[in-house]
Amino acid sequence: MTTTPIAFTGIDHVQIAVPEGGERACRDFYVGLLGLAEVERPFEAADRSFLWVRLGDQQIHFRCDAEFRPARLAHPGVLVDGLEALADRLAAAGHETTRADAVGPGRFHLRDPFGNRIEFLEAGSAAGAGRESQVHE
């Protein structure tokens, strides 16, 4: 076993699965409604995923899965400046959000069009700061 120190410095990306045929609905939701910036995929990734979006220095990659099942518990926690404006935008588009104030203030959960769980947290709030010491369910 090596004694060389290892430092984990962050997350580059997460991948979210969608059902086959869900490419347009996925792009409409994440790029169109949420307003995430689409990133050009490298040629070598073209057959593995259909959409990459950027959130600050991180990315979410989307890939179709023939045996798709929505992620009911596993979820990314996305930091947002303007959480309430996002909640209003989602409500106006007919998407239900679930406040998560029992876990901490300034956050809510949402199901994407495929049933995948996404959590949004207000950047700079108690919900989005000091995460090293938080216990999260």
Note the pLDDT of residue 3: 86
Pair 55, 90 in one domain: no
Better-scored residue on pLDDT, 28 or 48:
28
The arithmetic mean of pLDDT across residues 7-36, rounded, is 96
Percentage of the chain beyond pLDDT 90 is 74
Provide the mean pLDDT of the chain: 88
Cα distances from 123 to residues 52, 77, 130, in angstroms, run 22, 11, 11
The domain that holds 108 is classified in CATH as 3.10.180.10
Residue 137 inside a domain? The answer is: no
Whether residue 46 is predicted with pLDDT greater than 60 in this model: the reply is yes
Kindly report the backbone phi and psi dihedral angles of residue 73, in degrees, each rounded to the nearest multiple of 5, phi listed first. Answer: -110, -45
Kindly report the backbone phi and psi dihedral angles of residue 9, in degrees, each rounded to the nearest multiple of 5, phi listed first. Answer: -110, 0
Note the pLDDT of residue 55: 94
**Which of 18-27, 86-95, 125-134 is predicted with the least confidence, judged by mean pLDDT?**
125-134
Note the pLDDT of residue 129: 58
Pair 88, 110 in one domain: yes
Residue 98 inside a domain? The answer is: yes
Note the pLDDT of residue 49: 82
Q: pTM score, two decimals?
A: 0.84
Note the pLDDT of residue 124: 86
Whether residue 88 is predicted with pLDDT greater than 90 in this model: the reply is yes
Q: How many domains does the chain have?
A: 2
